[in-house]
Amino acid sequence: MSPSTRATPPTKGNPPVYQLNANENPYPPLPSVRAALEEAAGRAHRYPDRFHTEVTAALAARLDVPESHVVMGAGSCGVLQHLLHSLVRDGDEVAFAWPSFEAYPHLTAMNRGVAVTVPLQDETHDLDALADAIGPRTKVVLVCNPNNPTSTVVGRAALERFLDRVPAEVTVVLDEAYREFVTDLDSPDGIALYRDRPNLVVVRTFSKAYGLAGLRIGYAVAHEPLAAVIRSSATPFGVTAAAHTGAVASLAAEDELLERVELLVKERDRTATALRDLGLPVPHSEANFVWLPLGEDTEAFAAACTAAGVAVRAFPGEGIRLTIGTPEANTAALTAATSFARTVTVR
């Protein structure tokens, strides 16, 4: 799959019953978060806080980092756009594994950078090869952990060895959009790593575990000089007041939200086990989705899901990314997978 590949669009006709194609949280905001958002709606005629004061303070306290190290944006994509706009000039290189988050090549091109892609190894980042790909024009390296769409993680020691190889003048972005779903104790915590690495930026989001994808709010954590550079490219008032309110309320209700995450992790493991029992190849997942590297059988699987009313993310010739939804939705996907497995010999 090349970086320009796009997932197949939804089939025309009746909309799918279950949307398992966008890595969304299937559950709506908690009652306490909804109440805060309803109250905030009464202030919609006012501009949001340009300096993100309340949510920045809440995050800094939650992560035990200085407030000046926190940079807000409209989702992780917004933060990445600010970062690349700040650091990349015409012809500068941005290196990342492939396949990985589909926004990376798009954002690189938007900022007139050159994408340098490194193939995955066994559906996981090949960090040695990624380090080898760093050259004199490399300005930014992106590491998605867990990786989207393959759901895999790299271990702490491997990531530390990689970071030790990266020149100090190259910025490394550790994209941890799915961090809350990780149960592997060997998976590194980016916040712990960034503390003594001035060239490391950790990017996270409220879109996934916190269920605020529609509000668009994410953040970066970096040392002050780099944080200031990223902040300098931020769009004024680019994060809405509702997003601020939802994020602060979600942090206050974090324990309850993480109970939902635990339920999704259990459903992820149930779904992955059932798919493997059907003879389908599924790497171990540490995200809120599973990856099926089906190659030439990808579109046949997608068609079986569509017939069952389930929307999945199909990468033609490569594989299927299946978001974990409610138990009912996951069971519908497994029913489609069973039908597929009976009729197709997986290559």
Does 3 score more than 60 pLDDT?
A: no
Average pLDDT over residues 58-67: 98
With beta carbons less than 8 A apart as the criterion, state whether 242 and 44 touch: yes
With beta carbons less than 8 A apart as the criterion, state whether 105 and 4 touch: yes
Reported confidence tier of residue 345, pLDDT bands at 50, 70, 90: low
233-256 pLDDT tens trace: 999 999 999 999 999 999 999 999
Does 4 score more than 50 pLDDT?
A: no
**pTM score:** 0.93
Reported confidence tier of residue 344, pLDDT bands at 50, 70, 90: confident
80-124 pLDDT tens trace: 999 999 999 999 999 999 999 999 999 999 999 999 999 999 999
Task: Say what the pLDDT of residue 91 is.
Answer: 95
Average pLDDT over residues 33-44: 95
With beta carbons less than 8 A apart as the criterion, state whether 246 and 29 touch: yes
Please list the residue range(s) of the chain that carry CATH number 3.40.640.10. Answer: 31-252
Pick the CATH number of 18-27+255-343 from 3.30.460.80, 3.30.70.580, 3.40.50.10610, 3.90.1150.10: 3.90.1150.10
Characterise 184 by phi-psi region: left (phi > 0), alpha (psi -120 to 50), beta (else): beta
Characterise 11 by phi-psi region: left (phi > 0), alpha (psi -120 to 50), beta (else): beta
133-188 pLDDT tens trace: 999 999 999 999 999 999 999 999 999 999 999 999 999 999 999 999 999 999 99
Task: Say what the pLDDT of residue 14 is.
Answer: 62
Average model confidence (pLDDT) across the chain: 94
DSSP state of 181: G
Task: Say what the pLDDT of residue 343 is.
Answer: 85
Average pLDDT over residues 208-235: 96
With beta carbons less than 8 A apart as the criterion, state whether 94 and 130 touch: no
Average pLDDT over residues 284-289: 98
Neighbours of 295 (CB within 10 A): 13
Average pLDDT over residues 184-208: 97
Task: Measure the CA–CA gap between 1 and 113, rounded to whole angstroms.
Answer: 20
With the CA atoms of 216, 287, 313 and 315 taken in that order, what torsion angle do they form, in degrees rounded to the nearest 10? 120
Reported confidence tier of residue 290, pLDDT bands at 50, 70, 90: very high
Contacts of 68 (CB under 8 A, 6+ apart): 224, 227, 228
Please list the residue range(s) of the chain that carry CATH number 3.90.1150.10. Answer: 18-27+255-343
Reported confidence tier of residue 11, pLDDT bands at 50, 70, 90: very low
With beta carbons less than 8 A apart as the criterion, state whether 322 and 18 touch: no
Q: Lay out the sheet containing 310-315: strands in order across.
A: 18-20, 310-315, 319-323, 289-292
Does 307 score more than 70 pLDDT?
A: yes
Pick the CATH number of 31-252 from 3.10.110.10, 3.40.50.1220, 2.40.37.10, 3.40.640.10: 3.40.640.10
DSSP state of 175: E
Through-space distance between the first and last CA atoms of the chain, rounded to whole angstroms: 17
314, 334, 340, 324: which is closest to 20 by C-alpha?
A: 324
Task: Say what the pLDDT of residue 132 is.
Answer: 98
Task: Say what the pLDDT of residue 105 is.
Answer: 98
